[in-house]
Structure 1
Amino acid sequence: MGGGVTAGAAGLYAALVTNPAQMGARPEDADELKHHLKNGKGFKNPWDSFVDFMTWKVPFQMIWRKISGQWHVPDTTPPTVPVRTPDFLPSRYTPHLRATWLGHACYYIEFPGGLRVLFDPVFEDCCAPINLKNFKRFTPPPCEIEDLPIVDAVVISHNHYDHLSHPTILRIQKKFPNAQFFAPLGNKKWFLDCGVTKITELDWWEQRKLRLEVQKTEDEGSSSPGDLKANPETMTAIIGALPCQHFSARGLFDRCQTLWASWSVESGGSKVYFAGDTGYRTVPRLPPNTDDYSPSLNLPHCPAFSQIGSLRGPFDLGLIPIGAYEPRWIMSSIHANPKDSVNIFLDTKCRKALGMHWGTWVLTEEDVMEPPQKLKEALAEKGIGEKGVFDVVDIGESKVLES
């Protein structure tokens, strides 16, 4: 497409979400819905790689760690993660895929062909249902929602407060009333209650085709700007929900009643994998300094990522969590550490990847700047030393992925 489709002035005036002609490859047992609980009572992780440590005992264990002085409180004294003011493209046109990290699990993706997608946006200071000091940001958002040039689609991985924010969703709805929202199964009612009607919920391995028609504006470099104004620009995307190993809850009594998911978005000849929030294995309580990847332990890992890579990959870019992983015996089943992250990267067949789910809130015990260092070590262990293959960026920084 040409350079005359201006994000700020051009208005979305038509959108259609439909089943794609090709539903995409699926595992042979996908129709068995092993991740569904009986009688529609919720969802589960159906793999040996998941052992549920998040029982009633865990809060007491965590409280005891704090009382006994075992709990490590990370130091958030600046400087930590650099925060830049984002430099978004002035028009929809870009020859290359472009990703901007907006903190934690939020990425803004500018696709070749014009589509603009926002993943897991949370722009508020506190990631909790009430304002708690321990859940406040130690790095600010690099911009506000109102600074974004355009949002065509918003993709949500699950309903935890650090991934789904009620105030943020309302702000997006106000600024971008034509934005299309996508969320895992069971979340539609929450969005409708917020007044968001352009919501599509999907189960694992389901896909939808998003077709957008955007009014063009005059192109100063065009010899016939009237023609541009008369003809709409059509963009399409295939958006699919995929498995991951996690759980959901927004309160004390709704655990796992809605689904969690990773996602794929394909548009303009580029394909992005968004891992959301996920674990890869379950690590039991081990003596200090034990290598939990030791062959002697032989811990099972989640097979869904290899299925995703084989059936839906390869991907041009993976957005993969690298933080919130200590202590391992509590967090490993639901949060990947950098070694897990590299394996997810390899399993899903991503050509490049960017780290996320770190550097914004203190959720766990590892030092706030540890994840990127451990990521480098994990890549080196796998013999992936090439710079730019699996990177981290500053908050607000954009990464251009050239073909």
Structure 2
Amino acid sequence: MAPLLRTYITRTVLTASLVYTSGWAAYYIYTDTRRRLYISSRTKEFERKVAATSSSSYLHRKGLRTNGTAAGAEEEEKQNGHDLELGEKDADEGDRWKIGHLSEEDKELLKERWASLKIAGRYVNPFFEWREQGAWEWAFWKLVQSPLEAFFLAPAYPTTEIPQELQEVVQPDWKVLRGPSREGRLNYTWIGQSTSFIQMSELNILTDPVFSDRTLAHHPFYGPQRLRPAPCELSELPPIDVVLVSHNHFDHLDIAAVRELGNSVRWFVPLGVKEWFTEQGVQNVIELDWWQSSSFTLPTSNPGKSFRVTATPAMHWSGRIGIDTNTSLWAGMHLEEVFAPSSPSSTTPPPAPLSLFHAGDTGYSKALFKSIGQVFGPISLAAIPIGSYGPSWHLHLHHTDPEGAIRIALDVGARASYGVHWGTWIMSDEPPTLAPQDVWRAKEEMRLKDEDLLRIVNVGRTVELS
């Protein structure tokens, strides 16, 4: 009887494993095939619309009218005595896509191209660079590659030491942070991981709030432990007005911080995350799709001034309990000041608006981030992830490496940018101090001298930008 029972159990386990693996493999093949078809279709539609609007948009900027077709545009150009010189047209079309030059119509074309995409009830990444990754890929990394490297193979990464000053945890500059607000103020403080505290004029902003010692705050003995403590308690910061949440991973969304802040702040989250907040008793939550915006004002703001938050596309994934993988969206967040147009009788123009780009977690996609820059750039301040990218073959798709982070800063037109998402928890294979070294190395290889480009600061450091 015992041998028969063992045989039955073995066959049942093997069959269940085979069915489970085959089911998920079929799901990934199905969704990835549809995803690639969507990408191809969107790209062709984008190129078609760009080609259709090229001549008409050129003539529109020249002050000419057309009948709505490219052929009609050229014909009307000739009738009005203008020669449509190819060189002149090409130069104009080149300026068309430069940061700060895009028309609202062209911005809408980019938004259509990079709209969020949901297949079979789960969100997917509509980007050329992405490929679907199953649990077996993670298992190979953790159960095969890591043990081999630990016991038999040479280390995959060099042994590096980060400068001592960046290992220190410093107190935020409370004199600056608690000082009176003023128009045009811009301060940045890195709290750790992707948590940053930003003061933009009279607005106090917190991103991806995590202050707990472990990523699983409600399980004190589970999850990675902080390599260095948070520089302050959440309650020590000046009153927070707005919290920007990029996605629901534990190292970006701390249940303890959510419960502490509650409904006292405005929460901006991607689609599908609001339900989790409601379960925690928090209702002051605004849910955004990619490119969707929401505006608000503060009682302390000047008349005619508001703030606008827009969720931006990112190449990542979401989930907190395994079975909810990709049922909610992930995003970057763009926040900007908006001033009402000055009256004709006014002699004082409105101040230059400030803006913030919180990239969240993302892999690098050249076409995507150039599009974000074309829609929103130039950007006053950007917080961009630089860590958790090893092994590259597995993680680079959803965690950009330092070189990719530099390119993101350049693509979005960030005047000042800071590297985040490093040196807080060990969540990947590269040494936790390697990311800053790779940033400096990449900047040197790319011959970039701008000190405000992807700066590295130690935890707690407050930087006054304006």
**TM band (smaller chain):** 0.7 to 0.9
Q: Normalising by structure 1, report the TM-score.
A: 0.78
Q: Which residue in the other structure is 1:117 paired with?
A: 205
Counterpart of 2:266 (choices 167, 172, 180) is 180
C-alpha offsets along residues 261-303 of structure 1, whole Å, 9 cap, x if unaligned?
Answer: 01111127211111100011xxxxxxxxxxxxxxxxxxxx442
Could you tell me how far apart the structure 1 residues matched to 2:261 and 2:429 are?
32
Tell me which moved more, 143-152 or 82-91: 82-91
Is 1:352 paired with 2:419?
no
Task: Give the fraction of aligned pairs with identical amino acids, expressed as a percent.
Answer: 29
Q: CA deviation at 1:133?
A: 5.8
Distance 1:75 1:349, change over 3 A: closer
Q: Which residue in the other structure is 1:170 paired with?
A: 259
Q: Which residue in the other structure is 1:37 paired with?
A: 118
Amino acid in structure 1 at the alignment position of 2:432: V
Q: Normalising by structure 2, report the TM-score.
A: 0.68
Amino acid in structure 2 at the alignment position of 1:149: P
* Conserved 8 A contact 2:314-2:330: yes
Is 1:108 paired with 2:197?
yes
Give the alignment of 1:81-92 within 5 angstroms: 81-87=167-173, 88-92=177-181
Amino acid in structure 1 at the alignment position of 2:320: R
Amino acid in structure 1 at the alignment position of 2:117: H
Tell me which moved more, 370-379 or 244-253: 370-379
Q: CA deviation at 1:108?
A: 0.6
Structure number with greater CO (CA < 8 Å, separation at least 6) is 1
Amino acid in structure 2 at the alignment position of 1:238: R
Partner of 1:121: helix, strand, or coil? coil
Q: CA deviation at 1:92?
A: 2.6
Could you tell me how far apart the structure 2 residues matched to 1:378 and 1:235 are?
40
**Where does the alignment leave 5 or more consecutive residues of structure 2 unmatched?**
1-102, 339-352
Counterpart of 1:250 (choices 320, 323, 344) is 320
Could you tell me how far apart the structure 2 residues matched to 1:70 and 1:364 are?
14
Structure with more helix by fraction: 2
Could you tell me how far apart the structure 2 residues matched to 1:234 and 1:147 are?
31
Partner of 1:98: helix, strand, or coil? strand
Amino acid in structure 2 at the alignment position of 1:151: I
Could you tell me how far apart the structure 2 residues matched to 1:144 and 1:233 are?
34
Q: CA deviation at 1:348?
A: 1.0
* Conserved 8 A contact 2:114-2:368: no
Could you tell me how far apart the structure 1 residues matched to 2:431 and 2:203 are?
36
Could you tell me how far apart the structure 1 residues matched to 2:145 and 2:291 are?
40
Partner of 2:387: helix, strand, or coil? coil
Q: Which residue in the other structure is 1:28 paired with?
A: 109
Give the alignment of 1:1-400 within 5 angstroms: 26-28=107-109, 30-31=111-112, 35-38=116-119, 41-70=121-150, 81-87=167-173, 88-93=177-182, 95-112=184-201, 114-128=202-216, 130-132=219-221, 135-173=224-262, 177-214=263-300, 236-267=306-337, 269-280=353-364, 301-400=365-464
Tell me which moved more, 381-390 or 102-111: 381-390
Q: CA deviation at 1:151?
A: 0.4
Could you tell me how far apart the structure 2 residues matched to 1:391 and 1:110 are?
18
**Where does the alignment leave 5 or more consecutive residues of structure 1 unmatched?**
1-21, 216-231, 281-300
Could you tell me how far apart the structure 2 residues matched to 1:170 and 1:187 are?
15
* Conserved 8 A contact 1:75-1:368: no
Could you tell me how far apart the structure 2 residues matched to 1:66 and 1:146 are?
40
Distance 1:77 1:96, change over 3 A: closer
Distance 1:391 1:29, change over 3 A: closer
Q: CA deviation at 1:195?
A: 1.1
Tell me which moved more, 338-347 or 260-269: 260-269
Partner of 2:372: helix, strand, or coil? helix
